[in-house]
Chains A and B, each alone.
Chain A
Amino acid sequence: MKISLTVNGAQRAFDVHPGDTLLEVLRREGYKGVKKGCGAGDCGACAVLLDGRAVNSCLVLAGKADGSEVLTIEGLSKDGALHPLQEAFLDEGAVQCGYCTPGMIIASLDLLTHHPDPNEEEIREGIAGNLCRCTGYTKELRAIQAAAEKMREARHG
């Protein structure tokens, strides 16, 4: 079947098998920043924004995304400029192996879009579905706080 998606701002049409997951389609089409860690919604490495909300793309049937907007990690930086979340993850040392990082950043983006000023508990909950085996999350928490501050400043001009 054919589906049409807006991926990272670009209108795309894909030929998919009706049983394909969004994760499979995205990786097949070259969006390798979307990672597979478990295929069961347990790790969050495959998170993408689907119509503005972060979801486990391994659990979304591709047909369900037909007509939707998808944002993957590849679409986050604009014209070579990193997003404040990407900057903060680098500056705070929140990236180790980097395999969970795309999903973690996408989940954080969902959080900060809807809660621009989260407290620590809310941040922890916001990335609760994104497992990281390298960092212990301490540096991610700081990075998300730092990014939130930058994003608020940018918003208020």
Chain B
Amino acid sequence: MAEERRPAFVVVGKNERKVDGVALVTGKPKFAGDLDLPGTLCVKILHSPHAHARIVEIDASEAEGLPGVACVLTHQNTPLTRYTTAGQGYPEPSPYDARMFDTKVRFVGDRVAAVAAETEEIALEALKKIRVRYEELPAILSVDGALAAGAPIIHDEKDSPGIYDAAKNIAADVDIDVGDVAQGFAESDVIVETVCETQYAQHAPIEPHVVLTNLDEDGRLVIRSSTQVPFHVRRIVARVLDVPLHRIRVIKPRIGGGFGVKQEVLLEDLAALVTLRTGRPALVVLSRQEEFIASRTRHPMRIRVKLGARSDGALHALEMEVLSNTGAYGTHALTVLSNVGSKTLPIYNKAKNVHFFGKAVYTNLPVAGAYRGYGATQGYFALETAMDELADGLGMDPLKLRRRNAIRVGESSPIFEKLGEGREGVAQTVKSCGLERAIELGAARIGWEEKRGKRPRQGSRVRGVGMSIHMQGSGIPQIDMAAATVKMNEDGSFNLLIGATDLGTGSDTILAQIAAEILGVPVSKVIVTSSDTDVTPFDTGAYASSTTYVSGKAVERAALAVREQIVQVAAAMLADDGGNLDEARFVLKNERAVAPNGRGVTLAEICQRAMYQTGQFQIAATASFVPDESPPPFMASFAEVEVDTETGRVQVLEYVAAVDCGVAINPKMAEGQVEGSVANGIGFALTEEMLFSSKGRVRNPTLFDYKILGARDVPPIEVILVPSFEPTGPVGAKSVGEIGINGPIPTIANAIHDAVGIRLTKTPFTPERVLDALRARRPG
């Protein structure tokens, strides 16, 4: 078993407090919006009132003349460079279809102009004084509309590279084949087919997007941003504003949640340009309403899954067709689309014949982007719904069907190689997989055997249980890169400098735990500095479940290199007392380096010697890591629900997520990642949905009417961390940031089916939709 390889850890596996925790619970000014810089201008954005229109004329003179207005930005006075707001590796796999300000607006909320003024009141007043004449164009408000013959073309400009087929409103297209799926279905005994649709949903981080810019004493541009991708921000802003990259410093302070919506260069260009034009600090903060209308959303999708199986339950053919709505711009269009298949299909690697294809299309609706789960969430809804239907068709326990077909240690899937992030993937063999055990533990915890199919009824309320299984990845192989620097101080403490971006996940802490483990010190002796492009080495950023695995590995390597230097010095110090010491057999523990003969010196003594006494040098190392694979975390999730057949209300009574993320470096934090993503997923399943008017305007751009779950709504969530050891991971770990969010939609849908026999194929499962489905089925 994999666990046997697991070494005894001292710091890893402990529930260390967050290294930034005390500052956070005492309300220290740690966030981008907490810094007061004298003379800061307030920046406000004028958003398009139309879903699709050309700007015929724009007159900002009156606004510019308003006392207190420092500058007004429009397409007339800003760079026209095409770029993508997607904060991805370079070159980005998203089309360059956006400009700071364009001559055309493509959704209600699109940028028309921006004002920088002395106060918020003046800025808002000035926005009203900008005269814009629009030529309204027919708007596309659905994916079918986008693909219809003669549909208006949303990106009719000629200078946007990377769009798959602009004339047909197709931002991205994917089509991959394994085996022969037609033949596969022909050879199948049971075939099921299902079509599932997911909604427009918003990340709703409690901290909105915030960017504060200023010029430092040397005239360099400093951008403090609530971003998940500081290095991508630097690169993209440099290009868009044509500023030398070395004149820009990006700092990510603490950020109040991201979930993907801050993997986007959404405001940095605006604040930066204001600062460059005026020489003054500039602050942009999105209002909650702007978060809904003008930031990013999850890609709504329609997904068709067709499964063919032999009568013994062996999956034989698997087809998945995706129609993804990327909204007005193609940010993450291709990669999210790819992930719908690449993060779902390998879990059923026994199917020899697979066809995955789909399109991401433009519409005149808000822009979809990265969102925790990144397409897998949508894909699993369809796949795991179809698996339940297949189990029905086979007359087989859904749990057994999944067990029979799920991937195991030592196995691979052709999908890994065929389908990557917007390009071909990387072949890999699964080296750790606790899925089987996760299914077993989760089933026991929810009471699967006792409860499944029993449909206990109390009055109008009926109960049921459902389950589904999932995988995600750990970073993007051969694309992501992270680097870390470890530097020793003469009291035996270490600076850990990492480009990695802690967006509240606790990555600063678990990366410190990795370093502390290897260096034999408590976490308190590791001083973490992260996400400052002037100070920390490069890291692609916090997305794609990359930080624990990719950044963690970089930290592990840097710490091991420093450990080697420490041991060399220690060996020299102890060798002075006679005898040769085998450096490979030194142990670092309790802030000491201990030789094989049991004698030791303190780390402080070692560093003092290296700094001040003999053979002086700085004990330090920088290491990088580019993964060759992306070991998937696995999850089996279970829910018990109660359906009120009179109101259609679905209540989740209990949710169980059994997760294999390799070694959990900080178990409470790993649980927290799962609990939080499950809670968000339950929101998708039951309440969260952006609604649109017939003109494409968001009807519920508030937390008053876009319902995320509160403490009274979230059911007890039981997270079971299934032990495993990932040999390629840092200290045996895999990533765990996203996987949890994939579970609730199919798990709850399957539980509803168990309770009342209806198949819900459109999220969210609002009481009204559930009641409609119950009524449609009757009499029956």
Residues of A within 8 A of B (CB): 30-40, 42-43, 45, 72-74, 76-77, 82, 86, 89-93, 95-102, 105, 123-125, 127-141
Expressed in whole angstroms, the minimum distance between the Cβ of B739 and any Cβ of chain A is 14
Number of residues of chain B lying within 8 A (CB) of chain A: 55
Expressed in whole angstroms, the minimum distance between the Cβ of A108 and any Cβ of chain B is 10
Chain A to chain B contacts (Cβ below 8 Å), 7 pairs: A42-B288, A86-B22, A93-B672, A98-B30, A99-B207, A136-B717, A137-B679
Expressed in whole angstroms, the minimum distance between the Cβ of B20 and any Cβ of chain A is 7
Stretch binding the partner chain, chosen from B511-519, B561-569, B703-711? B703-711
| Interface-central residue, A91, A131, A138, by most chain B CB under 10 Å | A138
Expressed in whole angstroms, the minimum distance between the Cβ of A120 and any Cβ of chain B is 9
**Which residues 394-424 of B sit at the A interface, judged by CB distance below 8 A?**
none
The answer to whether B206 and A95 have CB atoms under 8 Å apart is no
**Closest 9 pairs (CB-CB, A-B):** A33-B27, A97-B504, A99-B256, A98-B24, A136-B679, A93-B668, A73-B27, A136-B675, A42-B703
**Which residues 253-271 of B sit at the A interface, judged by CB distance below 8 A?**
254-257, 259
Tell me the dominant secondary structure on chain B's binding face: loop
Contacts of A72 in B (CB 8 A): 27
Q: Are A39 and B288 also in contact (CB < 8 A) when A99-B31, A133-B206 are?
A: yes
The answer to whether A131 and B26 have CB atoms under 8 Å apart is no
Whether B21 sits at the interface, judged by CB under 8 Å, is yes
Q: Mark B652-673, 1 if CB is under 8 A from A, else 0.
A: 0000000000000010110110
The answer to whether A136 and B25 have CB atoms under 8 Å apart is no
Whether B69 sits at the interface, judged by CB under 8 Å, is no
Q: Are A95 and B679 also in contact (CB < 8 A) when A131-B206, A133-B257, A141-B711 are?
A: no
The answer to whether A38 and B702 have CB atoms under 8 Å apart is yes
CA distance A73 to B29 in the complex (A): 11
New A-B contacts (19) at CB < 8 Å, excluding given A35-B206, A123-B711: A33-B26, A37-B256, A38-B288, A39-B288, A43-B288, A45-B207, A90-B22, A93-B672, A95-B24, A99-B504, A129-B710, A133-B257, A134-B672, A134-B676, A135-B675, A136-B677, A136-B717, A137-B679, A138-B717
The answer to whether A90 and B25 have CB atoms under 8 Å apart is yes
Whether B141 sits at the interface, judged by CB under 8 Å, is no
Contacts of B255 in A (CB 8 A): 97
Whether B505 sits at the interface, judged by CB under 8 Å, is yes
The answer to whether B27 and A74 have CB atoms under 8 Å apart is yes
**Which residues 16-41 of B sit at the A interface, judged by CB distance below 8 A?**
17-18, 20-22, 24-31, 33-34, 36
Looking across the interface, which residue of chain B has its beta carbon closest to that of A31?
B27
Contacts of B710 in A (CB 8 A): 127-131, 137
CA distance A26 to B273 in the complex (A): 30
B259: contacting residue among A30, A37, A133, A135, CB under 8 A: A133
Q: Are A90 and B676 also in contact (CB < 8 A) when A32-B29, A100-B206 are?
A: no
Contacts of B704 in A (CB 8 A): 40, 42
CA distance A129 to B779 in the complex (A): 42
CA distance A130 to B708 in the complex (A): 11
CA distance A91 to B31 in the complex (A): 22
Q: Are A134 and B257 also in contact (CB < 8 A) when A38-B703, A139-B672 are?
A: yes
Contacts of A77 in B (CB 8 A): 26
The answer to whether A82 and B206 have CB atoms under 8 Å apart is no
The answer to whether A37 and B27 have CB atoms under 8 Å apart is no
The answer to whether A97 and B679 have CB atoms under 8 Å apart is no
Looking across the interface, which residue of chain B has its beta carbon closest to that of A77?
B26
Contacts of B678 in A (CB 8 A): 136
Tell me the dominant secondary structure on chain A's binding face: loop
The answer to whether B207 and A95 have CB atoms under 8 Å apart is no
CA distance A43 to B716 in the complex (A): 21
CA distance A127 to B713 in the complex (A): 11
Q: Are A130 and B711 also in contact (CB < 8 A) when A90-B25, A136-B676 are?
A: yes
The answer to whether B15 and A93 have CB atoms under 8 Å apart is yes
Looking across the interface, which residue of chain A has its beta carbon closest to that of B703?
A42
The answer to whether A42 and B669 have CB atoms under 8 Å apart is no
Contacts of A37 in B (CB 8 A): 206-208, 256, 288, 703
The answer to whether B26 and A133 have CB atoms under 8 Å apart is no
Contacts of A90 in B (CB 8 A): 17-18, 21-22, 25
The answer to whether A73 and B26 have CB atoms under 8 Å apart is yes
Looking across the interface, which residue of chain B has its beta carbon closest to that of A132?
B206
The answer to whether B714 and A137 have CB atoms under 8 Å apart is yes
Looking across the interface, which residue of chain A has its beta carbon closest to that of B705?
A42
CA distance A140 to B206 in the complex (A): 16
The answer to whether A137 and B257 have CB atoms under 8 Å apart is no
Expressed in whole angstroms, the minimum distance between the Cβ of B686 and any Cβ of chain A is 14
CA distance A47 to B18 in the complex (A): 23
The answer to whether B668 and A134 have CB atoms under 8 Å apart is no
Contacts of B287 in A (CB 8 A): 39
CA distance A101 to B504 in the complex (A): 11
Contacts of A123 in B (CB 8 A): 711
CA distance A101 to B716 in the complex (A): 20
Looking across the interface, which residue of chain A has its beta carbon closest to that of B740?
A136
Contacts of A76 in B (CB 8 A): 26
Expressed in whole angstroms, the minimum distance between the Cβ of A134 and any Cβ of chain B is 5
The answer to whether A91 and B17 have CB atoms under 8 Å apart is yes
B708: contacting residue among A45, A89, A129, A133, CB under 8 A: A133
Whether B506 sits at the interface, judged by CB under 8 Å, is yes
| Interface-central residue, B205, B505, B666, by most chain A CB under 10 Å | B205
Looking across the interface, which residue of chain B has its beta carbon closest to that of A87?
B25
Contacts of B717 in A (CB 8 A): 136, 138
Expressed in whole angstroms, the minimum distance between the Cβ of A24 and any Cβ of chain B is 10
The answer to whether A135 and B672 have CB atoms under 8 Å apart is yes
Expressed in whole angstroms, the minimum distance between the Cβ of A70 and any Cβ of chain B is 13
CA distance A97 to B676 in the complex (A): 11
B712: contacting residue among A82, A105, A125, A136, CB under 8 A: A125
B205: contacting residue among A95, A124, A133, CB under 8 A: A133
| Interface-central residue, A35, A40, A133, by most chain B CB under 10 Å | A133
CA distance A138 to B504 in the complex (A): 16
